[in-house]
Structure 1
Amino acid sequence: MALFKKRTVGKPGEWYYCLEHKKVEEGPECPAKDRFGPYTTRAEAEHAMETARERNLEWETDPKWHDATDAAKGSTNDD
């Protein structure tokens, strides 16, 4: 008898996007390392990759995450 049972069944209404199978699933069918979610609707899960791309773009262009002073000085790490 196992001490810990692996919980793979999600709650009804939890939607995930499986990165390996490239499909939407209700409840976690695949391991956590292979999915985005949970989302509250199927439509949100269907657009998971678009949402991730948009968030990545926002992060990449967010001035708070980049040190503008080094770029403005033209400094390099060749010192």
Structure 2
Amino acid sequence: MALFKRRTVGKPGEWYYCLRHQTVEEGPECRAADRFGPYATREEAAHAMETARERNLEWETDPKWHDMDGGRAKGKGGAGEDA
């Protein structure tokens, strides 16, 4: 018996953006690996790719993720630190 029951029918009001079909869907119609969401509104789901681009840009320019220590962890005892 499965631990988690797979939901085959979406809830009304849950919106997803299908990456494979490049369409907005109400409820999870396509497999999880092929979609973004859930979103609260159809409009939010329609702008999923734009939102993803904005978040990627924020991550790429976030100094917390791009430190200048040559890829080694900061602080004492961190992974990658010379002994």
Q: Same fold (TM over 0.5)?
A: yes
Q: Taking structure 1 as the reference length, what is the TM-score of the superposition?
A: 0.79
1:24-58 per-residue CA deviation (whole Å, 9 max, x = no partner) reads 00001000010000000000000000000000000
* Superposition pairs of residues 1-79 of structure 1, within 5 angstroms: 6-70=6-70
Q: Taking structure 2 as the reference length, what is the TM-score of the superposition?
A: 0.75
Q: CA deviation at 1:9?
A: 1.0
Q: CA deviation at 1:69?
A: 4.1
Higher RCO by CA contacts (8 Å cutoff, separation 6 or greater): 1
Structure 1's consecutive aligned runs of 4 or more residues displaced over 6 angstroms after TM superposition are: none
The one-letter code matched in structure 1 to 2:9 is V
The DSSP-based 3-state class of the residue aligned with 1:63 is coil
Cα RMSD, aligned residues only: 1.5
Q: Which one has the bigger helix percentage?
A: 1
